[in-house]
Amino acid sequence: MDRDAIHAELLEIEGILLDDRLNDEDRHALHGAAQALRHVLDGATWQPASQTFYRVGSRPSEAGSTLVH
């Protein structure tokens, strides 16, 4: 996909986002897609990745190790 095609997709997404009938879930998904396309066009906009990963809906536990030394 070349830069012109990415710009065209980005413009189309931005046009769809103007529709008031769009539900929140779709709006968030389209915002994410637009952000990803902007990052492709300008790599300097990337934020450093977090080194911490969690499963959706999970919180880190404070339980210590159960290993006996």
Domain assignment of residue 50, yes or no: no
Supply the range of the domain harboring residue 8. Answer: 3-41
Domain assignment of residue 66, yes or no: no
Q: What is the pLDDT of residue 56?
A: 60
Q: What is the pLDDT of residue 41?
A: 84
Domain assignment of residue 54, yes or no: no
Angle (nearest 5°) at CA 44 between 40 and 48 = 100
pTM above threshold 0.85: no
Domain assignment of residue 65, yes or no: no
Domain assignment of residue 34, yes or no: yes
What is the full per-residue pLDDT of the chain (69 aa) written as tens digits? 788 999 999 999 999 999 999 999 999 999 999 988 888 888 666 666 556 655 666 565 665 556 665
Domain assignment of residue 37, yes or no: yes
Q: What is the pLDDT of residue 67?
A: 60
Please name the residues in contact with 60: beta carbons below 8 A apart, sequence gap of 6 or more. 52, 54
Look at the chain and report how many structural domains it folds into: 1
Q: What is the pLDDT of residue 2?
A: 84
